[in-house]
A and B are shown apart, each in its own frame.
Chain A
Amino acid sequence: MTRRALGGLAVFAATAVALCFLVLPVVAIFARVSPGRLVAQLSHPVVRDALLLSLETSATAQALVLLVGTPAAYLLATRRFPGRSLVVVLVELPLVLPPAVAGIGLLAAFGRFGLLGGTLDSFGIRLGLTKAAVVMAVAFVASPLYLRQAIAAFEAVDPDLVAAARSLGAGRARTFFRVVLPLARQGLVAGEALAFARGLGEFGATIMFAGSLQGVTQTLPLAIYTAFNIQPNGFTTALAMSALLVVVSGALLVTLRLSLQWQPSKPTSRFLFAPSS
């Protein structure tokens, strides 16, 4: 066999190994849970509580991320001010924090004995073992993914289009909603999908900051861990819940792919090809 053929074989083998390694665990989950069992698990109170809580806290966290993150990303994308790159780095910092560190950080800031714990306490707010704490943990680890992508998406909007909208009589708000938002939409959707997926799977920060109380702070990932770790014969339940999470996440990924293929909005302000009439 020639050297070249050997090299080709090695590359092929590497690809096969990588693919197997990545796909096998997912396949294994479904190999051991029949669809019937999967549906049956939904009626289990622990599973149902965890699924509902996961969806509720994720939705709340993502709503907050979109509501606060979108204007913040737009500001960071369009304004130049001293220290801007530092701010962008700080915004991205939670991305590289280990989840356990994120959990400790949240405790140190908002926990009962944390930096703001006393202040919150004086308002009668205790975050420990509440849904609000889950939402905060999810938002903390997931929002940088959205912010990063949103900043890039807003930066990619041709400033001339914004200027054109303004000089055509549109104020800042109308310009944002009619021009900037539609043009940045793709990037925003992609960023939000990533943030949602990351938030749905959040484990470390949540268990440390919010605890794992069924029906209150026990999200699906926490329920999987609890079932596996504590319940007798919990592995099967854990498998079923894992399969559930794979289905939800997979559906998310497919939706994302589809929504990005749908109606691409490429900038046409600059010519991509030489036109003539």
Chain B
Amino acid sequence: MATLQADFALPLRAFELELGLEVSRTVAVVGPSGAGKTSVLRVIAGLAAPRRGVVTLDGETWLDTGRGISCPPERRRVGLVFQDYALFPHLSVRANVAFGAEGRPVDALLERFRMAHLATARPRELSGGERQRVALARALARGPAVLLLDEPLSALDAHTKTEVRHELAELLRELALPTLLVTHDYEDAAALADEVGVLVDGRLRQLGPPADLVARPQDAFVASFTGANLLRGRARRGPNGLTAIRLEDGAELFSVEEAEGEVGVVVYPWEVAVARAHEPQADSALNVLRGEVGPLVEVANRVRVRVGPVTAEVTAASAARLELERGGVAYATFKATGTRLVPL
């Protein structure tokens, strides 16, 4: 499999985007809006000129500022899918896909993306999901060596999104092209990519398989971005080799990880259990937080519920059994082993 390597610095308005990436399978760059995600793709595609940098695909050099090399966008073999798809409004679906095809078969692609019946339609007549398929087909018709996807799912409504995410994951596996996608949604990134990099203010905070990011978030931002609860507290040496953390509201938690001073306590929602009653026990291996029940949100067959300062994710069945009600009192419990500490 080919490998795309990019290492560059691009001054943006508020900060400098500076990162190095190696893409041979699917890599997702996630980050809040304004982190410079789209600029990463633009540099690789040749649509933005970095201050310094090298972009290569195996032996092919697309950019090397040191040697004064910069291929124009049309000579870089990238399939770029824009966030808003950027379909040509004055061309039919077929003409859009054929735009970069240079004789490669277009009809087969339209067939494959279930767009054959809409070949003569204009982009404005299409739904969001259809536009996305046209944009993908158009990018692939160009015969790209690298696929670049900008927020591939963000322009879709929630209903379409789940389905398209599944399809897209399937497609990426099938294509086996080095793929770099950027998204603000960690769940999308984790679902689509083998490796996820968290980009904040132009720098990669952490890069690794999604499971690693969740298991060992490097800092508070990565933790909360990957969906964890983040509590602030002061750590000191506790009993049984544990670390005791005093939270701002006075509650005390324990963690098996070592830390001292101001820390962020990281707990993932699926590691939190919820109970209506709690028998006090002197088991410091289990953290207990008593709190008011906040809003309950159903997500598929699970329920997300806020208990005091933390969000828990429980099965719909147990939520029903517990008869949780907004405004009531409940206990959130989680193990000291599932309680990670990160620097703030």
Contact = CB atoms under 8 A, between A and B. Distances in A.
Interface of A: 158, 160-161, 163-171, 178-179, 182-183, 265-272, 274-277
Question: At the interface, is chain B mostly helix, strand, loop or mixed?
Answer: loop
Interface string B32-44: 0000000000100
Contact of B130 (A158, A274, A277): A277
Contact of B73 (A167, A178, A269, A274): A167
A167 B124 contact: no
B123 A160 contact: no
Given A271-B84, A275-B127, A275-B131, A169 B74 contact: yes
Interface stretch (B155-163, B194-202, B252-260): B155-163
B102 interface: yes
Nearest to A160: B86
Contacts of B99: 165, 168, 170, 178
Given A160-B82, A167-B47, A271 B90 contact: no
Chain A to chain B: the 8 pairs with minimum beta-carbon distance, closest first: A168-B100, A277-B129, A166-B73, A268-B124, A275-B127, A164-B86, A275-B128, A160-B86
Contacts of A171: 72, 74
B74 A164 contact: no
Q: Which of A160, A161, A269, A277 has the most CB of B within 10 A?
A: A277
B149 to A, nearest CB: 12
Contacts of A183: 89-90
A273 B167 CA distance: 24
A165 B138 CA distance: 10
Interface in B113-163: 122-124, 126-131, 138-139, 142, 155-157, 159-160
B76 interface: yes
A182 B88 CA distance: 10
Given A168-B99, A272-B124, A163 B73 contact: yes
B8 interface: no
B230 to A, nearest CB: 33
Contact of B89 (A167, A267, A274): A267
A182 to B, nearest CB: 5
A167 B80 contact: yes
A167 B74 contact: yes
B78 interface: yes
A209 to B, nearest CB: 41
A182 B130 CA distance: 24
Interface residues of B, number: 38
B223 interface: no
Contacts of A270: 84
B46 interface: yes
5 contacts: A167-B74, A266-B124, A274-B128, A276-B157, A277-B160
Contacts of B142: 167-169
B74 A269 contact: no
B57 interface: no
Nearest to A175: B74
B334 interface: no
Given A165-B99, A274-B128, 19 more contacts: A161-B89, A163-B42, A163-B82, A164-B86, A166-B46, A166-B74, A167-B47, A167-B80, A168-B138, A169-B74, A169-B100, A171-B74, A182-B90, A268-B124, A271-B128, A274-B157, A275-B126, A275-B128, A276-B160
Nearest to B114: A277
Nearest to B124: A268
A167 B90 CA distance: 18
A167 B76 contact: yes
A265 to B, nearest CB: 5
Contacts of A274: 128, 157
A163 B46 CA distance: 9
B86 A161 contact: yes
Contact of A276 (B42, B45, B82, B127): B127
Nearest to B158: A276
Contacts of A167: 45-47, 73-74, 76, 78, 80, 142
B289 to A, nearest CB: 40
A160 B99 CA distance: 15
A13 B78 CA distance: 64
B87 interface: yes
B308 to A, nearest CB: 36
B85 interface: yes
Contact of A269 (B86, B130, B159): B86
Given A167-B74, A171-B74, A268 B47 contact: no
B200 to A, nearest CB: 25
Interface in B56-100: 72-74, 76, 78, 80, 82, 84-90, 99-100
Contacts of A163: 42, 45, 47, 73, 80, 82, 86
